[in-house]
Amino acid sequence: MDRKDFFKKALIGGGVLIFAPTVFSACTKASDVLPTNGGTGTIDLTSSAYAALNTVGGYAYSGNVIIIRSSTTSYIAMSSICTHQGCTVGYSSSAKKIVCPCHGAVYNTNGTVLQGPAPSSLKMYTATVNGTTLTIS
């Protein structure tokens, strides 16, 4: 092998080593992460980051949790990670369903799979409001 071939193969191999983890991590399952360590997280509902939660049907993300304003007094919190291949799900307020944009899985607001290819339900969390603080556990 001459010097030119060596560098060519080294560059190709190095590129694969650098980009492979990024490509493969996009299609792997991720573990649920609450907003803070220790199993409970709190959200300040007056924060501009969560302005969408001021409207019924609005939703926002905190870590790997999607929070949905389901009524004037209640919220739903569940994993935002599709159980099929780990894509981040979104919420359709008109259909009142959680949808995975990658492969079309659909969940209801209880996290139950309505349409595959997702193999299992989304993990649900308890969401309680005290004043302007939303606690997720």
DSSP annotation of 81: B
Parse the chain into domains and list their residue ranges.
Answer: 1-29, 31-136
pLDDT in tens, 34-78: 544 446 789 999 999 999 999 999 999 999 999 999 998 999 999
DSSP string, 39-79: S-EEEETTSGGGGGGGSTT-EEEETTEEEEE-SSS-EEEEE
Written as six digits, the tokens of 112 are 């139950």
Answer CATH for 31-136 from 2.102.10.10, 3.10.580.10, 1.10.645.10, 2.40.50.140: 2.102.10.10
- Please give the order of strands across the beta sheet that includes 97-99: 90-92, 97-99, 106-107, 113-115
Instruction: Name the residue with tokens 């899985």.
Output: 105
* pTM score of the predicted model: 0.72
